[in-house]
Structure 1
Amino acid sequence: MSSDPFDGRPGGFEYSTKGALTDFTTMFAGVLMLVSASFEILQGLSAIANDDLYAAGSDYLYKLDMTVWGWVHLVVGVLSAAVAIGILAGQAWAWLCGIIVVSLSMLTNFAALPHYPLWSLVVIAFDALIIWALCLQLGHKRP
């Protein structure tokens, strides 16, 4: 007999309303993280392909080569996609890794605000929602 109270028996955590809400927010975070990763990858590829596109008219504290910055976005996007797949697969390690990778995404988009402000703000907002959903999952205490 299993000593785990959450082993799938009726009335356990997975059949509760809190369990359903937690599962939904985890899936929400995973899907939103895939969308955000796609944005990061597109951002990175466009900066790598045409670095003049983003460099025009920017006099900003963070003077960065846009091709290098494109590679940073591309790497963060690929990492985000890999962790999102882990979240959607239900891997517990992916929750904390997701918070870390999404925090990096927020920082890279903050530094890129003067080059493409609206796009960066959208990705930062998505990242904030992802962090909220993952923190809800991590902070949830099962009965």
Structure 2
Amino acid sequence: MTQQSTPPGGHPHDRAAAAATPDRAGFWAAGGTVFAGVVLLVDGLLDILKGISAVSSDHIYARVDNYLYRFDLAGWGWVLVALGAIAVLTGLGLLMDVLWARVLGVFMASLSLVANFLWLPHLPLWALISIGLDAWVIWALTAHRPQRPVAL
């Protein structure tokens, strides 16, 4: 009876099982990509609605006179409508798992983070929630590295 030696690096079945088992951070990031797509989709729709309400009647939002960043709410409403439409398309692309949507998703979440910072005096609680969600979307889209099969 001959005994086969184990190759360096462990048994081949052990290496295959380890490669097939995702690490915890990878698991959360992969699920985070789907969540990022849903967040961008919903946040884009809400931005469109916020923009429409700012364009139609800018008396809905609180007026803040002593804030460093002052801007016309109707003009800002059009910006929100445009950003919201692009965010909706990006969210749909993320749900279809296309690469351009991952790159555009990081860009859109960054823009949304800045836009919500500028929106702080008008809707402070929602702006802070959106800033947190945008930061999480950026992490999820940049941390996830899809496992590609390795050709042997």
Task: Quickly name the TM-score band, shorter chain normalised.
Answer: 0.7 to 0.9
Q: Is the 8 A contact 1:36 1:126 kept in 2?
A: no
Q: Does 1:76 align with 2:76?
A: no
Q: Does 1:127 align with 2:119?
A: no
Deviation of the 1:63 alpha carbon: 1.8
Q: Does 1:17 align with 2:22?
A: yes
SS of structure 2 residue aligned to 1:17: coil
Unaligned runs of 5+ in 2: 1-15
Deviation of the 1:133 alpha carbon: 0.7
Q: In terms of Rg, which structure is larger? A: 2
Give me the whole-angstrom Cα distance separating, in 2, the residues matched to 1:22 and 1:115: 32
User: In the TM superposition, what whole-angstrom CA distance separates every residue of 1:62-82 from its partner, at most 9, and x where no partner exists?
Assistant: 221100011111111111111
TM-score, with normalisation over the residues of structure 1? 0.79
After superposition, where does 1:98-113 map in structure 2 within 5 Å? 98-113=105-120
User: In the TM superposition, what whole-angstrom CA distance separates every residue of 1:39-70 from its partner, at most 9, and x where no partner exists?
Assistant: 21221111112112225244212221100011
Distance 1:59 1:94, change over 3 A: same
Q: Does 1:45 align with 2:30?
A: no
Large movers: runs of 4+ above 4 Å:
18-22
TM-score, with normalisation over the residues of structure 2? 0.75
SS of structure 1 residue aligned to 2:69: coil
Look up the equivalent residue of 1:40 and give its one-letter code.
D
User: In the TM superposition, what whole-angstrom CA distance separates every residue of 1:65-116 from its partner, at most 9, and x where no partner exists?
Assistant: 1000111111111111111111110101111110001101111111111111
Give me the whole-angstrom Cα distance separating, in 1, the residues matched to 2:30 and 2:49: 29
Give me the whole-angstrom Cα distance separating, in 1, the residues matched to 2:84 and 2:72: 18
RMSD across aligned positions (CA): 2.4
Percent identity over paired residues: 38
Look up the equivalent residue of 1:87 and give its one-letter code.
L
Structure showing the higher helix proportion among its residues: 1
